[in-house]
């Protein structure tokens, strides 16, 4: 591999003089790119040099008189974030060299196996890796920034939309109240207006709460059964109205089922899934919901089954998209079509997955996973 640059500034940090002379000799045999070498023997001198001058590559011995092993990598990396670091190691030190890569070094070289060709190849690869890493870092940074901007915009927009919407809703209700003798046509239109405004209100609320997810990142150990009990209290009215039977059936050998999660987010997931499991059951049937858990090698698998209307296989993916409702129409359950999209967002951000299996008219089972935290 040939480097695309003509000239490289190299800092060699090596306290063993014979080694330093040998490395200097190897480097002097490299014709292209041209190399300028600065040699220091201590971590302190290396840091001083890095503050005074810009280097492209640092060849770093790990055992220096004033700094030791990984600590050396950390100190140097902190000082020269944009410079490629290559660790120089003895034969018996390869594990340490690998640990250094995790600390941010780009590569390592075993001193005894060094020659000009190996040195040149390692330098060029390390530079390329560093360049790509920088590009990824910049991309991530830009993405985070634009995400933050979008979130702020969505939050502002939600607030701004709510004001005129409340006016529409309030006025509609007032007209409905004042015009008791209005014709059937007018009353139908008013009804439509109020229902649409209410629906939009729910959608804006959910958009807002989806924006708030970013802020709710504090995680703690949570007993899932306790969280579900709290959610069932919140859903008390819906459960009573529909005469729903909810069974939490966690196998005794797994209990308590404890996960590391943000409480608000976990509540929201259970609330959306349980509420849907009750909501999408035909009116002439009493909802029966069963919640179970299974311990898998690296994760918990949760299942929420209902005896509801079911979902067509072709809609399995669609229902997790924002604003996708399949059950529109007269007499159907109300909703904004955001609940499952929010669940998916939460679950995936926490390293899990969510999916559904269903039989039309017989019921659905929603599955989701939570990785096991150590
Ligand atoms: P909402 O319930 O507000 O419409 P969701 O995102 O929670 O929004 O659900 C999206 C769609 O998925 C629903 O409109 C419904 O058609 C379907 N759905 C969700 N849960 C169930 C379920 N348990 N059984 C049948 N259909 C469901």
Two tokens, residue 338: 């955001």
Percent over 90 (pLDDT), the chain:
61
End of a domain among 140, 168, 183? 140
Let me know whether 372 and 226 are in one domain: yes
Parent domain of 43: 2-140
Residue 169 lies in a domain: no
pLDDT digits (tens, 9 = 90+) for 211-256: 766 555 678 999 999 999 999 999 999 999 999 999 999 999 998 9
Let me know whether 224 and 347 are in one domain: yes
Two tokens, residue 39: 């040699």
Which residue's CA is the nearest one to ligand 1's atom 11? Answer: 325
Distances (CA, A) of 216 to 94, 206, 268, 346, 349: 42, 15, 12, 10, 12
d(CA 134, ligand 1 centre) in Å:
43
Residue 213 lies in a domain: no
Instruction: Using most ligand atoms within 8 A of CB, pick from 205, 306, 340 the residue to mutate for ligand 1.
Output: 340
Residues 197 and 169: beta-carbon distance below 8 Å: yes
| pLDDT (average), residues 170-193 | 89
**Residue 13, number of CB atoms within 10 A of its CB:** 27
The closest-lying atom of ligand 1 relative to the alpha carbon of residue 338 is 6
Two tokens, residue 274: 């349980």
Whole-angstrom Cα distance, residue 59 to residue 11?
6
Residues flanking ligand 1, CB < 6 Å: 272, 276-277, 280, 306, 308-309, 311, 319, 324-327, 335-341, 364
d(CA 276, ligand 1 centre) in Å:
6
Whole-angstrom Cα distance, residue 55 to residue 77?
12
Residue 124 lies in a domain: yes
Looking at the predicted structure, is the pLDDT value of residue 369 above 70?
Answer: yes
Whole-number pLDDT of residue 154: 81
d(CA 7, ligand 1 centre) in Å:
62
Whole-number pLDDT of residue 18: 93
Let me know whether 130 and 222 are in one domain: no
Torsion angle of the four alpha carbons 130, 131, 135, 141, in this order, in degrees rounded to the nearest 10: 40
End of a domain among 107, 122, 140? 140
Rg (the chain; Cα; Å): 31
pLDDT digits (tens, 9 = 90+) for 113-159: 889 999 999 999 999 999 999 899 899 888 888 877 887 788 788 88
Say which residue the tokens 């079911």 belong to. 310
d(CA 196, ligand 1 centre) in Å:
18
Which residue's CA is the nearest one to ligand 1's atom 16? Answer: 326
For 9-13, 39-43, 181-185, which range has the lowest pLDDT when averaged over its residues? 181-185
Two tokens, residue 208: 């807002």
Which residue's CA is the nearest one to ligand 1's atom 7? Answer: 339
Q: pLDDT: is 360 or 264 the higher one?
A: 360
Provide DSSP, 308-361.
SS---GGGTTGGGSTT--S--STTSPP--S-HHHHHHHHHHHTT--EEEEEETT
d(CA 258, ligand 1 centre) in Å:
27
Whole-number pLDDT of residue 215: 59
Confidence of residue 2 (pLDDT cuts 50, 70, 90): very low
Let me know whether 230 and 372 are in one domain: yes
d(CA 277, ligand 1 centre) in Å:
8
Count of domains for the chain: 2
Whole-number pLDDT of residue 1: 43
The closest-lying atom of ligand 1 relative to the alpha carbon of residue 342 is 6
d(CA 278, ligand 1 centre) in Å:
10
**Mean of per-residue pLDDT scores for the chain:** 89
The set of long-range contacts for 142-145, using a CB threshold of 8 Å and a minimum separation of 24, is none
| pLDDT (average), residues 353-359 | 97
Output phi, psi for 245, to 5 deg. Answer: -110, 120
Residue 86 lies in a domain: yes
Let me know whether 356 and 240 are in one domain: yes
pLDDT digits (tens, 9 = 90+) for 307-330: 999 999 999 999 998 766 665 544
Residues 175 and 190: beta-carbon distance below 8 Å: yes
* Nearest Cα to Cα of residue 326 among 285, 356, 293, 370: 356
Provide DSSP, 234-268.
HTHHHHHHHT-EEEE---GGG-S-EEEE-HHHHHH
Residues 6+ apart with CB under 8 A from 318: 324, 326
């Amino acid at each position: 591999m040939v480097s695309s640059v003509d000239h490289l500034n190299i800092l060699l940090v090596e306290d063993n003089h014979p080694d330093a002379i040998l490395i200097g000799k190897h480097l002097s045999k490299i014709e292209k790119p041209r190399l300028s070498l600065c040699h220091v023997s201590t971590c302190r001198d290396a840091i001083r040099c890095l503050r005074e001058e810009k280097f492209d590559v640092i060849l770093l011995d790990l055992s220096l008189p004033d700094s030791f092993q990984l600590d050396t990598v950390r100190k140097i990396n902190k000082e020269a974030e944009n410079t490629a670091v290559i660790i120089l190691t003895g034969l018996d030190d390869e594990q340490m060299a690998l640990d250094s890569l995790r600390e941010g070094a780009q590569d390592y070289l075993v001193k005894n196996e060094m020659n000009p060709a190996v040195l040149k190849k390692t330098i060029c690869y390390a530079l390329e890796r560093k360049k790509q890493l920088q590009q990824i870092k910049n991309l991530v940074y830009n993405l985070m920034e634009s995400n933050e901007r979008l979130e702020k915009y969505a939050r502002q927009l939600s607030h701004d939309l709510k004001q005129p919407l409340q006016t529409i809703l309030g006025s509609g209700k007032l007209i409905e109240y004042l015009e008791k003798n209005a014709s059937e046509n007018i009353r139908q239109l008013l009804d439509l207006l109020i229902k649409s405004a209410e629906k939009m209100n729910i959608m804006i609320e959910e958009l807002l709460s989806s924006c708030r997810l970013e802020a709710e990142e504090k995680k703690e150990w949570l007993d899932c059964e306790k969280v579900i009990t709290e959610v069932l209290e919140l859903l008390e009215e819906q459960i009573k109205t529909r005469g729903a039977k909810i069974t939490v059936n966690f196998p005794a050998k797994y209990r308590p089922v404890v996960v590391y999660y943000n409480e608000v987010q976990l509540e929201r997931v259970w609330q959306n899934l349980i509420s849907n499991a009750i909501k999408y059951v035909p009116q002439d049937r009493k909802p029966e919901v069963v919640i179970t858990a299974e311990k898998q090698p690296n994760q918990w698998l949760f299942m929420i089954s209902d005896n509801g209307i079911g979902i067509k296989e072709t809609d399995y993916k669609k229902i997790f998209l924002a604003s996708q409702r399949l059950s529109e129409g007269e007499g159907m359950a109300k909703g904004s079509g955001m609940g499952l999209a929010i669940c998916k967002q939460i679950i995936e951000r926490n390293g899990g997955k969510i999916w559904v299996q269903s039989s039309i008219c017989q019921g659905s089972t929603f599955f989701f996973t939570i990785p096991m935290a150590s």
